[in-house]
Amino acid sequence: MKKYFFKSVQISVFRVIRVPYLWLKNMSEQSENKKNESNGEWEPKIIAFVCNWCTYVGADMAGTGRMKYQANVRIIKVPCTGRIDPLFLMRAFERGADGILVSGCHPGDCHYNAGNYHARRRFAAFRKLIEFIGIDLRRLQFSWVSAAEGKKFVTIINEVTDAIRALGPCKEYQSMALEPPKDKVMPE
Amino acid sequence: MSEYDNISNEIRELAAKLLARGEVDVVIGYKPTALPGRTQPAFAYKPEDAREFVFNPLCVSGLPLYLTKAKPEISAKDRIAIVAKGCDVKNIVALQRENQIRREKIKVIGVVCKGVVGKYGRCDGKTEPKPEDLDEKCRYCDVNTPRDYDYLIGEKIESSPQSKEKEFEEINRIEKLSPRERWKFWEEHFKRCIKCYACSKVCPLCYCNRCIVDKTMPRWIDPSSHARGNLAWNIIRAQHLAGRCTGCGECERSCPMDIPLMLLNKKLERESEELFGYRSGYNPHDPIPLAVFREEDDDEFVR
Amino acid sequence: METKIINKQDLAKLIDGLISAGARTVAPVKVGQMHLFQEVRSPAEAVFDYFLARRSPKEFLFPQTEPIFSYTRQKDSVKIHPVDMAFPRTVVFGLRPCDAAGPGILDALFAWDYEDKFWFNRREQTAFVSMTCAQADHACFCSSVGLSPDAADTGADLHLTLLDDGQRYFVEAPTGKGKKLVSEFPSLFKPATDSDAAARGSAGEKAKGLITRKLDLSNVKQWLGSHFTDELWERLSAKCIGCGACAFECPTCHCFDFQDEATPEGGVRCKNWDSCCIDNFTLHASGHNPRNIQHKRYRQRIMHKFKYYIDKFGKTLCTGCGRCSRQCPVTLDIAEVLENIAAKAASGS
């Protein structure tokens, strides 16, 4: 509600506040964004949460096999998909991800026996929830990629990137990230 | 003498008897307040305290909250008796399922309930509320007679819940909107959130010693009440109740900003029933859906 | 006190005039089943025939979340970006006298050991237009804390009372800011006659009659001073669930917490509302919590409002609006607690 009051103010000071607030968008991406903006092209930013034992090795396999895939993905390695809390995915969106891929071992192959089974249930519910909130489910995808499936990894990354590129930036979340908490904040 | 006077009297007598005999240390029930149209939770430690107890359609608060470790001043008592409507019993069952209570130490005084008054309904507390004044959950109630109790007060009645289509009408409507429209819908509601956390504090199943929102190392949910912080809080609150929520509606009733939280809870309730085949609050021996798995669980959304 | 008459159409014109003058104009707006103070784009959005807004208007001086500075981290230094302290001119319409009394009570606190510029800069920019109550319920007890539902001088800059004809408001301007507002739109305000003043008097009496809850608070402070531990606390507040609904709607609750929202590269330090009833309010880093159980937290709420604040600043930290009682999920009625204390004090126990 409070944001509502300031809406008119915000629009006018939005440009001014942009600089100190860029950190919210994840500073490390700033330079890249600028580069892309200077080319006049937007590039999707995709975060992949992958498990240490299967998908990460699969990605490695793609690398050693010199297979090419689109460079929009940033990989975050976790021990197991069972370690991925929905909070990780929310935070990724908050920090400017346009799309997220969660990828782990095939059912039955989990290094810890059942981590991926638990993850599957958790995300089966979570994706329904955020779909209901209004996130396009093409932005949150899941896959099983084994250590031997370098090729599948390449295909999935390319497909996810293309899907997100077609969808455009995740404006819903990004507008939130840029919004100053209250009133106006100005640089020195 | 009205039906509710009889029920109130029976509760008073039973509570006084249990306390006098030393069978329980405390009885949790309802008592009147000076505010019209309301009642409040009450705790009787001595037989004479039980004289205050009432039961009527204004008894909306969910009392099983006081059985959890979030309320140690009461739940730490050794033997507790609790006045419970059908929906409260569902919460007791859910707590039992999550090993939060020892059922044998709790005496459930089940009360047959014909529905309680809604947040904006009108009711004098002497007669049943009119259908339009009933709380939303009561329209679809299938536990007017509690499913588990040690003592039952009132005549058993059959439940006649309204149809599922009606119950999920609003959810179905929202599901049919485009993602953008759904986002707008929730943005409008969440922007009012003041992060008072009444939704979680009042929830009998939100009994964690330390809520994720209070954790700071690392800080996952922004504490400020802005779009980002409000969204993260409301999503995670709903997610943490996925497959556990029994649909008592206390969060939505308590929300001072009238955010329709039950839409989120009910949506997940339906999904967890469809995906995993469990409904919370009916069987204390059911597993918690997100704590177990089956190898043949739905795999279709995974590439 | 300067008195005037403004009719309903002219009040709409006043709101319109302020909007076109670029002022942030706030009024009660109907949202679902409740009313909230929100910025209005046209006078038609404002609803003045209402009971009480769900939330008090304190947020216009003391927002729930307020950035006090932002920072960016460089290699081995931190750069601080201060916040702009020039706030927009704001006029809040339709407050009730209990709402209007809040800022006056809190001024002393925000000026106490450190002058809070965020509060006072906003205060300077903000004018409050209160209105005599047309409705009240059993949670209202403003007359017991020295206010009244028609009081013009509780802190508002203009006070309007709807006269019997239902079309004209009797305007009182107790402050300089109020007089300035009147002089800014001279054509909208008509002179008030003696009969108008009489009508205002009777409307005020009618409003006073709406308040049915009368509490005797004369002995409460003294009792609180000698009963830090008492069976009453646990008896009355064991049911408190420890949410912040009461404090966040209260016109006078002012506790806040500093919190950083940050990435490794930088962040914003925010001042966020907090509530003494929430369990980690006094939680120490060691894990020790001096208020380790709910009735001790609720005791703090009562003590602060009816003893500590009076000791320190000479004012009761309560305006009797009754929001906390109405919105409490478990109906912990503050007036009932005070009645119990008063009874104990009277009986000498």
pLDDT of B66 > 70? The answer is yes
C346 with C272: CB under 8 angstroms? no
| Shared-domain flag, residues C149 and C16 | yes
In a domain, A138, yes or no: yes
What is the torsional sign of CA B256, B262, B264, B269?
A: positive
Please give the pLDDT value at position A39.
64
Final residue of a domain: which of B153, B187, B208? Answer: B153
Give me the percent of chain A exceeding a pLDDT of 70: 72
User: Minimal Cα–Cα distance from A187 to chain C, Å?
Assistant: 5
Nearest to A4 among C39, C87, C262 (CB): C39
Mean pLDDT throughout A34-49?
75
**Overall number of domains in chain C:** 2
pLDDT at residue A89 tops 60: yes
| Interchain CB distance below 8 Å, C24 and A2 | no
Residues C224 and C184 in one domain: no
Same-domain check for residues C226 and C158: no
Higher pLDDT, A75 or A29: A75
Which of these three, B127, B153, B179, is where a domain ends?
B153
The pLDDT value given to residue C4:
93
Q: Is residue B303 part of a domain?
A: no
CB atoms within 10 A of CB A175: 13
Distance from CA of A22 to the nearest CA of C (A): 9
Q: Kindly state whether residue C14 falls inside one of the protein's structural domains.
A: yes
In the predicted structure, residue A85 carries a pLDDT above the cut 80:
yes
Residue A177 contacts B, CB cutoff 8 Å = yes
B146 with B175, same domain: the answer is no
pLDDT of residue A185: 44
Residue A7: the pLDDT is 36
Do C62 and C158 reside in the same domain of the chain? yes
Quote the tokens at residue C241.
Answer: 């669930």
Q: Is residue B117 part of a domain?
A: yes
Domain end marker among C177, C210, C243: C210
Q: For residue A179, what pLDDT is reported?
A: 43
Of the pLDDT bands very low, low, confident and very high (cuts 50, 70, 90), residue A21 is very low
pLDDT in tens, A111-136: 999 999 999 999 999 999 999 999 99
Do C302 and C193 share a structural domain? no
Is residue B296 a part of any domain in this protein?
no
Which among A131, A132, A159, A162 is the top mutation candidate for probing chain B, defined by the most B β-carbons within 10 Å of its own β-carbon?
A132
- To probe the interface with C, which of B248, B257, B258 has the most C CB atoms within 10 Å? B257
In a domain, B216, yes or no: yes
CA dist., res. B287 & res. B97, Å (int): 7
- The reply to whether B21 and B146 lie within a common domain is yes
DSSP calls for chain B = --HHHHHHHHHHHHHHHHHHTTS-SEEEEEEE-SSTT-EEEEEESSGGGGGG-B-STT--S-GGGGGSTT-HHHHTSSSEEEEE-HHHHHHHHHHHHTT-S-GGGEEEEEE-----B-TT----SSSPPPGGGB-HHHHT-S-SS-SS-SEEES------PPPHHHHTHHHHHHHHS-HHHHHHHHHHHHTT-----HHHHT-TT---SS-GGG--TT--S--S-SHHHHHHHHHHHHHHTTTT-----HHHHH-TT---HHHHHHHHHHHHHHHH---TTS-TTSPPGGG---TTS--TTB-
pLDDT at A177: 67
**B123 and B22 fall within a common domain:** yes
Q: How many distinct structural domains can be found in chain B?
A: 2
Do C19 and C127 lie in one domain? The reply is yes
Q: Is the pLDDT of residue A180 over 70?
A: no
Q: Which structural domain, as residue segments, surrounds residue A110?
A: 44-170
Determine the structural domain holding residue C91 and report its residue range.
Answer: 2-210
Name A64's Cβ contacts closer than 8 Å, sequence gap at least 6.
A150
Does C243 lie in the same domain as C203? no
Find chain B residues with C-beta within 8 A of A128's C-beta: 267-268, 271
Q: Does A3 touch chain C if contact means CB atoms closer than 8 Å? A: no
B126 and B11 in one domain? yes
- In the predicted model, what is the mean pLDDT of residues B193-217? 92
| Domain presence at residue B125 | yes
- Which pLDDT does position C335 carry in this prediction? 95
Q: Which of C32, C249, C329 sits opposite B258 (nearest CB)?
A: C32
The residue-averaged pLDDT of A65-74 equals 93
Domain boundary, last residue among B130, B153, B176: B153
Classify residue B299: in a domain, yes or no.
no
| C64 found inside a domain | yes
Interface residue of A128, A131, A160 to substitute, partner B, most B CBs within 10 Å: A128
**Band of pLDDT at residue A23, cut at 50, 70 and 90:** very low
Ramachandran angles phi, psi of C321, nearest 5°: -70, -25
- The pLDDT of residue C2 is 85
Regions of chain C where pLDDT drops below 50: none
- Using 50, 70 and 90 to split pLDDT, how confident is the model at A26? very low
Please tell me whether residues B256 and B170 are part of one structural domain: yes
> Are B142 and B201 contained in the same domain?
no
C121 and C252 fall within a common domain? no
Q: What is the pLDDT of residue A78?
A: 95
Share of chain B above pLDDT 90, in %: 83
Count of domains for chain A: 1
Contact: A4, C38; criterion CB under 8 Å = yes
Question: What ipTM, to 2 d.p.?
Answer: 0.91
pLDDT in tens, B214-262: 888 888 998 889 888 999 999 999 999 999 999 999 999 999 999 999 9
Q: What is the pLDDT of residue C265?
A: 79
Average of per-residue pLDDT across A94-121: 93
User: What integer pLDDT is reported at residue A56 of this predicted model?
Assistant: 95
Domain identity same for C59 and C153: yes
Candidate from B173-177, B291-295, C32-36, C262-266 with smallest mean pLDDT: C262-266
Question: Do residues C28 and C177 share a domain?
Answer: yes
pLDDT at A2: 42
Q: Which of C185, C210, C235 is the last residue of a domain?
A: C210
Q: Based on the domain organization, do C15 and C119 belong to the same domain? A: yes
Is pLDDT at A12 greater than 90 in this prediction?
Answer: no
pLDDT (0 to 100) of residue A31: 41
Q: Which of C181, C210, C239 is the last residue of a domain?
A: C210
Together in a domain, B179 and B110: no
List the CATH number of the domain containing A144. 3.40.50
Q: Are residues B19 and B146 in the same domain?
A: yes
What residues make up the domain containing B281? 164-291
Residue C215, domain member (yes or no): no
Q: What is the pLDDT of residues B85-135, one digit of tens each?
A: 999 999 999 999 999 999 999 999 999 999 999 999 998 888 889 989 999
A118 is a domain residue: yes
pLDDT of A178 higher than 60: no
Domain shared by B147 and B175, yes or no: no
pLDDT value of position C173? 94
